[in-house]
Chains A and B, each alone.
Chain A
């Protein structure tokens, strides 16, 4: 995903001379082509994320479309107040990119597990939150983020994620879009971020009659797309590589509750949330090992309607 991101960012920077990339001394063997092509719109600010977020705000005030790039929690939690106050309150054109979403850097330990940032960022006005499900989505979201004039967070996996969307998605992604990946009748899985491959494989391998939707956007989600899904499906399973509290499944529950209150739906479908249950994991392990440990797995029984 990070390769898809940087390749697409280079494409964007070729046609938009406002694109500026800041890195906090991370991105080895990823960011170099951008740095070489656009030295006047690239800077390694050093290992100082609060300063990076502030500098990004300053550059954005002067008209740049600024990307800040680092891994895990460093470009988000480490500088959360700069994101809230300098970037989001002033509604500046800054894109925050984190590589290594969820347990991607599994064995590096909880310092590198990015599993709480959706919840923190979701509460901040003006912030758009994106998490691509595969490299194709990563490209589309990079294009989206560059065109979108305002704060945006992009949670990437790391390298080598397989393609889930079999062919190039020809339509550009618009704010809040949902992508249908598999077609079923009464049950649907709502997946965000890099869980998508696991979900589609599980549904295919078990020959389940279930729809799969990828949610490249966690905030906002376009209610024009979401509302029919609440009407259509009896059962919805949400899955994310994030704490249950404040995450993607929480957002889905909140949308459902709003729609019920506004009488747009008569009842809320059965919603099962698969997310991390308020726990840190100090066990070493691969991404898949930690996902299993945290219970980020589907069960065929979940699909019984």
Chain B
């Protein structure tokens, strides 16, 4: 079982963000904005919601968490390291030559269920895992976290259309709705609105929340435990680059890595 740290989940989220910034700075890597936007969701998930034992990551009874927005894997690696799935020092190997810590989520990393990098892949797989859970009358749940831009991919909508048919109420989809995708604002590329009613019309239970408010994240995840034959989606309204003022809502920080000065400023920002 995951042990809750002696710190609050908010502090855990801050630590995730600091590790993310350190990693992308050291590796001069992209995608910091999307890792910061989902940090609070990861913090709540790994601070007691997910039933996963860092010492027994393949336990049959565990909850399955599949991160689909693999480009934001720094957030997941940080959460796992901070929860002792592997040594925190390993994060220094992120994107380094010969490292297993690829800059898209790698299933070679302890605690990672699935490699992801090509968008629109993990949700159909999560649906398959949930279907297996149903066929086995299992009590564990499946949680899949996708980006908003990723919902341009048709494969996701095949899975979204399919899931209610099989009554997959053991499946929770979380959308990190940070309103920005690779080349522009979501509303300008392919608008997802009306978003909530889209999912409702697909026969999903929808919970729309502030994806940085830990109480709301927790409450929504609790509501998702309801066994009513419907898959659940949490639309988490988030801010890309959340927590670092000069990164917030900036397309540039989908690509840029902070230099040493920017890293220092960013961490100060988080600590204030």
Interface residues of A (CB under 8 A from B): 40-41, 43, 45-46, 48, 50-51, 53-64, 81-82, 85-86, 89-90
Report A-chain residues with C-beta under 8 Å of the C-beta of B120.
Answer: 50
Report A-chain residues with C-beta under 8 Å of the C-beta of B166.
Answer: 43
Please tell me the size bucket of the interface on B: 20 to 34
Chain B contact residues: helix, strand, loop or mixed: helix
Expressed in whole angstroms, the minimum distance between the Cβ of B129 and any Cβ of chain A is: 4
Contact of B126 among A48, A58, A63, A89 (CB under 8 A): A58
Expressed in whole angstroms, the minimum distance between the Cβ of B35 and any Cβ of chain A is: 21
Bound CA span A43–B165, Å: 11
Bound CA span A86–B166, Å: 22
B133 at the interface (CB under 8 A from A): yes
The reply to whether A48 and B131 contact each other, CB–CB distance below 8 Å, is: no
Bound CA span A45–B131, Å: 11
15 A-B residue contacts at CB 8 Å? A48-B161, A50-B120, A51-B127, A53-B124, A54-B123, A55-B125, A55-B131, A55-B159, A58-B129, A59-B128, A60-B128, A62-B129, A62-B133, A63-B132, A85-B118
Expressed in whole angstroms, the minimum distance between the Cβ of B145 and any Cβ of chain A is: 15
The reply to whether B158 and A50 contact each other, CB–CB distance below 8 Å, is: yes
Expressed in whole angstroms, the minimum distance between the Cβ of A40 and any Cβ of chain B is: 6
The reply to whether B155 and A82 contact each other, CB–CB distance below 8 Å, is: yes
Closest 5 CB pairs of A and B: A58-B128, A54-B124, A62-B132, A51-B158, A55-B128
Report A-chain residues with C-beta under 8 Å of the C-beta of B131.
Answer: 43, 55, 58-59
Which chain A residue lies CB-closest to B66?
A58
Bound CA span A86–B115, Å: 8
Expressed in whole angstroms, the minimum distance between the Cβ of B46 and any Cβ of chain A is: 20
Report A-chain residues with C-beta under 8 Å of the C-beta of B113.
Answer: 61
Interface residues of B (CB under 8 A from A): 107, 113-115, 117-118, 120-121, 123-133, 135-136, 154-155, 158-159, 161-162, 165-166
Given contacts A64-B132, A85-B115, contact A58 B127 (CB under 8 A): yes
Bound CA span A267–B128, Å: 50
The reply to whether B118 and A54 contact each other, CB–CB distance below 8 Å, is: no
Expressed in whole angstroms, the minimum distance between the Cβ of B113 and any Cβ of chain A is: 8
Report B-chain residues with C-beta under 8 Å of the C-beta of A51.
Answer: 124, 127, 155, 158-159, 162
Report B-chain residues with C-beta under 8 Å of the C-beta of A56.
Answer: 128
Bound CA span A228–B133, Å: 49
Expressed in whole angstroms, the minimum distance between the Cβ of A157 and any Cβ of chain B is: 29
Contact of A58 among B118, B132, B136, B161 (CB under 8 A): B132
The reply to whether B121 and A61 contact each other, CB–CB distance below 8 Å, is: no
Bound CA span A150–B67, Å: 23
The reply to whether A40 and B123 contact each other, CB–CB distance below 8 Å, is: no
Report A-chain residues with C-beta under 8 Å of the C-beta of B165.
Answer: 46
Report A-chain residues with C-beta under 8 Å of the C-beta of B136.
Answer: 62
Report A-chain residues with C-beta under 8 Å of the C-beta of B158.
Answer: 46, 48, 50-51
Contact of B155 among A41, A46, A54 (CB under 8 A): A54
Contact of B162 among A48, A81, A90 (CB under 8 A): A48
Report B-chain residues with C-beta under 8 Å of the C-beta of A59.
Answer: 128-129, 131-132
Bound CA span A60–B113, Å: 13
Contact of B159 among A40, A54, A63, A81 (CB under 8 A): A54
Give the interface centre of A48, A51, A55, A86 by most chain B CB atoms within 10 Å: A51
Report A-chain residues with C-beta under 8 Å of the C-beta of B127.
Answer: 51, 54-55, 58
